[in-house]
Amino acid sequence: MTPCNETRFNEGPDELGLNEIAVDFELACRQQIHPGQVDRLTEVANTHAFNKGRGSPFAPLKVAKLSKAFVLIDGHHRYLALSKAGITRTLVEVLSHVKTPQEAKLASGEANWETRLALSAKERREVFRAYVKAKRHRKGKSGLKSYREIAKELPGLKKSTLNDWMRQDFPSVAAAMRKKNSEPENGAGGLQDHHQKTLANKAQHHANQIQAIAPELDKDQRESLGLTLKGTLERLGVPWVKDEYGF
């Protein structure tokens, strides 16, 4: 995941006791723990401890200080493995730019966006929501990024997907983006307009066919078809006017 252009000041690596790190899964981008991953990492930690290795056998866990407490941002599987292996202290990287729960969830997503243990589509959408709640969709004080710019920061997501999620999750932001950036409503380069024109052409073609065969229908057939057309016109908000064929 491409970081935004703001300056990041990460402190560390430092060292903390596991009991000094709060684990809040509401702030994690992953919605489930993978037991197999924990077991594999626990074996690594146990081997490290058996060989009397110092510190943690893993890369530093990422933490942030929220409300005077260190909260785990990235490394939940490693944290659980260290705990199961009886290792009580670990190296940490303090993300000093993370100040709010929204920024914490986004930072968790950034750290896991392109890792070997891929995020699910549902988890990626949660990261997208955190991205907007953290106001990363903004450019400057009042500007808005385009879907193309957002896609660069959330690689792997199509502009059309981003547009759909924005319209569904943040409709007022989506409306403002269409107005300020002149984005097509579906974010896909005018495909929505093309689709609407195609539908209109098909409808007109069928209407022309009905007009062509109308003289060949008998009275009962015309009445049956007329009822269908009357209902269609009512849904379209068009007044019903009988023609020379009786419908």
Quick: pLDDT tens for 64-109. Answer: 999 888 999 999 999 999 999 988 889 999 999 999 998 998 999 8
Q: Is residue 143 part of a domain?
A: no
**Consecutive H or E run containing 96:** none
Q: Which of 117, 59, 121 is nearest to 92 (CA)?
A: 59
Tell me how far CA of residue 225 lies from CA of 57, 86, 203, 209, 237, in angstroms: 77, 79, 16, 13, 18
Q: Is residue 71 part of a domain?
A: yes
63: CATH? 3.90.1530.10
pLDDT at 133 over 80: yes
Q: How far apart are CA 137 and CA 176, in angstroms?
A: 12
The neighbour count for residue 111, using CB atoms within 10 Å, is 17
| Token pair recorded at residue 54 | 């110092």
Q: What is the DSSP string of 141-152?
A: TTEE--HHHHHH
Same structural domain for residues 114 and 17? yes
Final residue before a domain boundary, out of 118, 138, 169: 118
Least confident of 14-23, 53-62, 69-78, 161-170: 53-62
Final residue before a domain boundary, out of 118, 138, 160: 118
Number of domains in the chain: 2
Q: Is residue 24 part of a domain?
A: yes
Same structural domain for residues 16 and 112? yes
Q: What is the mean pLDDT of the chain?
A: 80
Domain membership of residue 22 as a residue range: 10-118
Q: Is residue 4 part of a domain?
A: no
Please compute the mean of the pLDDT values over residues 11-23 and round it to a whole number.
Answer: 83
Q: Is residue 209 part of a domain?
A: yes
Q: Is residue 88 part of a domain?
A: yes
Quick: pLDDT tens for 33-57. Answer: 889 999 999 999 888 776 666 667 8
Same structural domain for residues 114 and 14? yes
Q: How far apart are CA 226 and CA 129, in angstroms?
A: 50
Q: Is residue 138 part of a domain?
A: no
Q: How far apart are CA 92 and CA 56, in angstroms?
A: 10
pTM for the predicted model, two decimal places? 0.57
Greater confidence (211 vs 153) lies with 153
Same structural domain for residues 14 and 111? yes
Q: Is residue 136 part of a domain?
A: no
Specify whether the CB–CB gap between 76 and 123 falls below 8 A: no
Q: How far apart are CA 127 and CA 120, in angstroms?
A: 11
The number of angstroms, rounded, from the C-alpha of 95 to the middle of its chain's C-alpha atoms is 23
Q: How far apart are CA 135 and CA 106, in angstroms?
A: 11
pLDDT at 242 over 60: no
Q: How far apart are CA 127 and CA 165, in angstroms?
A: 11
Final residue before a domain boundary, out of 83, 118, 153: 118
Q: How far apart are CA 203 and CA 201, in angstroms?
A: 5
